Structure 1
Amino acid sequence: MKTYKSYLHIFLAAGLLSFAACKTEINTPKPSRGTADFSRYIAVGNSLTAGYADGGLYREGQMNSYPSIIAAQMQKVGGGAFTQPLFTPEQANGSGYLRLAGFNADGTPKTEQVKTNLAVRGQLAVPGFGNVILYTKYTGDINNYGVPAIKLQQITYAPYGNLNGYFERLLPGDSPTNTTTYLDFVTAKPFTFFTDWLGNNDALLYATSGGAGDVLTDKAVFTQLYNLSINKLTVNGQKGAVATIPDVTSVPYFNTVTVGAILAGVQKANPAAKALYVNALVSGTTYVPRIATANDLIVLTFPTSMIGQLVNTPAGPLPYGLTPYTPIDNQYVLDQNEVALTQDYVSSYNATIKSVAASKGLAVFDAFTFLNDIKAHGLTVDGVNLSSAYISGGIFSLDGVHLTPRGYAIVANEFIKAINKQYNASIPQANVSSYNGVKFP
């Protein structure tokens, strides 16, 4: 006669066997290049592609660029060597950059400029343009063609190699003798695969100048040049991945120093202060002073100590930023109408990018949607909560526009996801947690 204990043993044994039979198997796809050929991968783009961070281009940032991270993962599916135009260890600080020095008593960050071990070889005055900083020449093979500050608008402009020191350092000639266009330069050697993230600066430089120091690239010109560039990059059947333009007004550069925060600071010392004033776009090139609202974006670099300082006016000395006679200067504000104008152009640029990519069968990383989603909801990677917040968010570097190594690793993985989907590949993703955010002192 079976005892209760005997039945219990039988029941448990059967249950364990049943659990073992039904356990879930996790099948990791075998790494594969799918229908793509990564034997010579090149990266086309601007500062984001170059690994620019913290307001400068320097060796550590270059080594953590998203193309270098992508290339390392591509090598696991047969990808070739990936060479970057790195600054030397002796000149590792390149152009110089910002580092976090600490925090003020009110919690605001203190940054300082790194000025040692630079790769600056001189400065050239270009008539009608201004001074161009020249960097130590790089010689050797190149796979990462990222050039800080370049616009799509400038990729066929022959003299551009004399006006941008980051591009000039890659060319054999010295400024002002260069005549090679950027598009010709990046396509001079055979390649099998490319990523392209050009176009950001066609909107960003207008925005970061407060709409006062640059212009948005004409939509028709953008479409014409984007078609031209993609046609040339795919002329021999090369495959690739492109990215859309982010909403440049959503980055910390425009969302850290706010109208509300500045006014609250003023009112602590002067409760009678009721509003800030900005010089705002009405239409065309017409600007009129008005009261600032939360929809007007103050740039990260605005020296808030200027608020309230007396300014000489026809009506006598008046406090800066606190009267319609002394509005905050255009260069420090992307006002509501300028925000709308910028977003309209970015939307047009992205429609072009998606249309051209679809016509060529290219992979698309929708950076616009992805980065806006992070701003709205944050992002959790490997159990770490990230966001678009300045410094604490972990994604954006100290300049409030470019990314940290961790941010670049996240972008690299988004490119990889798009490539895998489009070309039936299974490139492994990078380990984001092995890359740092902003470095604390």
Structure 2
Amino acid sequence: MKKFLALLAFSSLLLASCIDDDAQPPVFQVPVPTPINYTSGEADFSNFVAVGNSLTAGFSDGALFTAGQTASYPNMMASSFAQAGGGEFTTPFMADNLGGATLGGQPILGNRLFLSFASGSPLPAAVEGQGTTEISNILSGPFNNMGVPGAKSFHLLAPGYGNVAGVPIGAANPYYARFASSPNATVLGDAAAQAPSFFSLWIGNNDILSFATSGGAGIDQQGNLDPSTYGGNDITDPNVFAGAYIGMLQTLTAGGAKGVIANIPDVTSIPFFTTVPHNPIPLDAGTAAAVNGAYAAYNGGLAQLQAAGLITAEELAKRTISFSAGETNAAVIIDEDLTDLTAVNPALINMRQATADDLVVLTARTFIGTLADPNNPTSINGVAVPLGDQWVLTPEEQGLISNALTAFNQTIDDAAASFNLAKVDANTFLKVINASGVPLADGTTVTATYGTGGGFSLDGVHPSPRGYALLANKFLEAIENTYGATLPEVAPEQFTGVYIE
């Protein structure tokens, strides 16, 4: 080693002696990147107003809270717009990061979720404490972020939707009640009163979503044009949606404003429906035999009625219940679309075991396996006691959702063309996240896997801040392509995929 070092030193001296006294050593300069000239193109971002529901508001982890609102996709867009002539973007912030809220001092909204390791395994849990947001403390607007969690399309046009007096009876929205300009105001009216130079509109998700997350417990209101008669979990009639949607765009573009709209994702592909398997029940041999014995009369009664021609052999096979030792037993569920046999035999209720075509809701993960009767150890939900309609989305119910989704998105597609607006294909993009994930610059990949994928928050419905960042970039991309703007992207790696405390 010493010989090598000596040789190296000698070689350096020799090289130095060979350099001409007048020669100068080369100078290496790091290239300076050419500054990007961000521009608005044909758009005007000086007064950007975002209209929509919980997705626009920045709702995540089951609540609305300040950090989530800061990480809303419109707020990210506004930060990008600021580099191309964009103005101030204001938000009706909640009072803290808990997410809970009170009305007259009484809690009416729950706290946000976080990933807790208290039990040794990572599980979602609500943060402790009482939120300091009081709904009756009206904020002074106007606000650029007009996202209202829970709003359906026709709600944005409804006078009184922000009336505090209507909140206790469900006639008004507690989130909008905090910042409505008056008790009789409308969300659309408050947005239009700001004379936006540019707008975003993403609405219609809740016109389908509440039906889905309730396990199809609502009604498909196709043919009913009176939304005042709808229940909270009903699917909006496509004509009602189209009328509300076109009316909103006519109002928002009346002053010459340009904007960007987004279609509705397939709600059945979100983690709320893809996390809990249809067959989560492990049984040992003895328990499986006992359960099968308990269902013997039910299976026998079905066989008799099939022999009598009251049900087909296919339905008999579908309804026959059988358990085996192992960890892949399907849950027993109620299916309203089965043939009603209770007039012949009251014991033959509409139940069957779930299949891979059924979607079990996320909230069922803490319900399946519990006791329906605390005093009866055999009354196991999902085994001896079938899961009710609210826990499972059957193929028939999924079909109703698919029909409405197709109709709503056709309206949005047509509107984008007729109003010459930029459009985000959120439906396709979220399918990509669900199927293959989205790679990031840091080498990670954002997926829709519950709790660990980084794309969705712990409520299984709303994106995480990182997921919202990806969506913000899709909005920016659509704006650039439509209006010739040049805008800085959002860096998703700078936003969290899940809150851990």
**1:377-429: per-residue Cα shift (whole Å, max 9, x none)?**
11101121110001100010110111111111111000000000000111111
Which of 268, 273, 278 is the aligned partner of 2:333? 278
Gaps of 5+ in 2: 1-31, 102-108, 164-171, 219-232, 290-322, 325-329, 342-348
Which structure: larger Rg?
Answer: 2
**1:353-393: per-residue Cα shift (whole Å, max 9, x none)?**
01111111100110000001111111101121110001100
Quote the residue 1:21 is aligned against.
Answer: none
Q: Distance in 2 between matches of 1:335 and 1:113?
A: 33
Quote the residue 1:343 is aligned against.
Answer: 402
The two structures have a TM-score, normalised by structure 1, of 0.82
Relative distance call for 1:268 and 1:403 in structure 2 (3 A) is farther
Which of 249, 252, 255 is the aligned partner of 2:271? 252
- Answer yes or no: is the 8 Å Cα contact 2:276–2:365 preserved in 1: no
Relative distance call for 1:320 and 1:117 in structure 2 (3 A) is closer
Q: Distance in 1 between matches of 2:114 and 2:285?
A: 30
Which of 77, 102, 106 is the aligned partner of 2:117? 102
Quote the residue 2:471 is aligned against.
Answer: 411
SS for the counterpart of 2:400 is helix
Relative distance call for 1:422 and 1:237 in structure 2 (3 A) is same
Gaps of 5+ in 1: 1-24, 122-133
**1:249-300: per-residue Cα shift (whole Å, max 9, x none)?**
111111111112x22x345994443542211242999993222111111111
2:233 is equivalent to residue 232 of structure 1: no
Which of 443, 451, 460 is the aligned partner of 1:391? 451
- Answer yes or no: is the 8 Å Cα contact 1:104–1:110 preserved in 2: no
Supply the AA of the counterpart residue of 1:288: N
Q: Distance in 2 between matches of 1:269 and 1:60?
A: 51
How far the C-alpha of 1:93 sits from its partner, in A, is 6.0
Relative distance call for 1:310 and 1:141 in structure 2 (3 A) is closer
How far the C-alpha of 1:172 sits from its partner, in A, is 4.3
Q: Distance in 2 between matches of 1:353 and 1:91?
A: 35
Quote the residue 2:180 is aligned against.
Answer: 171
**1:48-86: per-residue Cα shift (whole Å, max 9, x none)?**
100111100011111111000000000001111111111
The two structures have a TM-score, normalised by structure 2, of 0.73
Quote the residue 2:500 is aligned against.
Answer: 440
Quote the residue 1:374 is aligned against.
Answer: 433
Q: Distance in 2 between matches of 1:43 and 1:211?
A: 30
- Answer yes or no: is the 8 Å Cα contact 1:103–1:110 preserved in 2: no
Stretch moving more, 217-226 or 83-92: 83-92
Which of 84, 93, 101 is the aligned partner of 2:91? 84
Quote the residue 2:209 is aligned against.
Answer: 204
How far the C-alpha of 1:311 sits from its partner, in A, is 5.4
**1:64-112: per-residue Cα shift (whole Å, max 9, x none)?**
110000000000011111111112459876552112221656x462413
Relative distance call for 1:200 and 1:69 in structure 2 (3 A) is same
Supply the AA of the counterpart residue of 1:72: S
Relative distance call for 1:268 and 1:150 in structure 2 (3 A) is farther
Quote the residue 2:413 is aligned against.
Answer: 354
How far the C-alpha of 1:347 sits from its partner, in A, is 1.4
SS for the counterpart of 1:301 is helix
How far the C-alpha of 1:117 sits from its partner, in A, is 3.8
Q: Distance in 2 between matches of 1:70 and 1:268?
A: 57
- Answer yes or no: is the 8 Å Cα contact 1:99–1:114 preserved in 2: no
Q: Distance in 2 between matches of 1:285 and 1:30?
A: 68
Quote the residue 2:147 is aligned against.
Answer: 146
Relative distance call for 1:266 and 1:148 in structure 2 (3 A) is farther
Q: Distance in 1 between matches of 2:97 and 2:489?
A: 32
Q: Distance in 1 between matches of 2:62 and 2:98?
A: 17
Q: Distance in 2 between matches of 1:226 and 1:268?
A: 56
Matches within 5 A, 1:235-314: 235-260=254-279, 262-263=280-281, 265-266=282-283, 270-272=287-289, 273-274=323-324, 275-282=330-337, 288-307=350-369, 309=371
2:393 is equivalent to residue 334 of structure 1: yes
Relative distance call for 1:192 and 1:284 in structure 2 (3 A) is farther
**1:153-204: per-residue Cα shift (whole Å, max 9, x none)?**
222222322311001101244xxxx222222121112110001001110001
Q: Which has the higher strand share?
A: 1
Percentage of pairs with the same residue: 37
